[in-house]
């Protein structure tokens, strides 16, 4: 049994993020590139969650904190949420904070640490610009 668990953990580490996670990470990085100020962006405390829908499925989302500075030296920071809808939506500020603090949220505690995954995806897109 321990060998099976070890093999699964190794597979999960090598395979990388799941499809819902990858979609949300890509969408979040893209939104920060398209709508963000020019300058460095840092992410922290990024985690995957979901809520049940009336139809019995799950609606996935990423919650976290961002900080960014512009070339003019102006700093901005706060919460964000990217929600999987028919496409996706990214919200910032108090609306994001209230969505991320809902009591009905279920958090994925078994997946990879997502701050570094999102940061790498964002940085890769930044160098391609």
Q: What is the tens place of the pLDDT at every residue in 99-117?
A: 999 999 999 888 778 999 9
Mean pLDDT over all residues of the chain? 80
Specify the pLDDT at position 109.
Answer: 85
Cross-strand partners of 106: 50
Of 112, 117, 99, residue with least CA distance to 60: 99
Strand partners, 76: 68
Q: What is the pLDDT of residue 87?
A: 82
What CA–CA distance (Å, rounded) separates 26 from 122? Answer: 8
Furthest-apart CA pair in the chain: how many Å? 56
Alpha carbon separation from 113 to 18, 44, 65 (Å, rounded): 12, 10, 14
Q: How confident is the model at residue 34, as a pLDDT?
A: 86
Q: Burial-class residue 114 by CB neighbours within 10 Å (0-12, 13-18, 19+).
A: buried
39 close to 68: Cβ distance less than 8 angstroms: yes
- Return the pLDDT at 37: 57
Task: Give me the residue spans of the domains in the chain.
Answer: 17-128
Q: Is the pLDDT of residue 50 over 80?
A: yes
Whether the predicted pLDDT of 20 surpasses 90:
no
Q: Label residue 13 by pLDDT band (50, 70, 90).
A: very low
Q: How many Cβ atoms are within 10 Å of 23's Cβ, its own excluded?
A: 17
Say whether pLDDT at 53 is over 50: yes
**Range with the poorest average pLDDT among 12-16, 24-28, 120-124:** 12-16
How high is the pLDDT of residue 71? Answer: 66
């Amino acid at each position: 049994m321990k060998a099976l668990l070890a093999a699964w953990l190794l597979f999960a580490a090598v395979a990388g993020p799941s499809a819902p996670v990858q979609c949300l990470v890509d969408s979040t990085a893209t939104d920060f590139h398209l709508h963000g100020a020019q300058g460095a962006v840092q992410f922290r405390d990024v985690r995957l969650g979901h809520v049940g829908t009336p139809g019995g499925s799950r609606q996935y989302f990423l919650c976290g904190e961002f900080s960014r500075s512009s070339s003019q030296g102006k700093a901005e920071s706060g919460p964000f949420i990217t929600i999987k809808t028919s496409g996706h939506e990214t919200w910032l500020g108090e609306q994001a904070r209230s969505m991320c603090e809902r009591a009905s949220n279920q958090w994925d505690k078994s997946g990879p640490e997502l701050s570094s995954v999102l940061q790498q995806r964002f940085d890769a897109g930044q160098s391609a610009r």
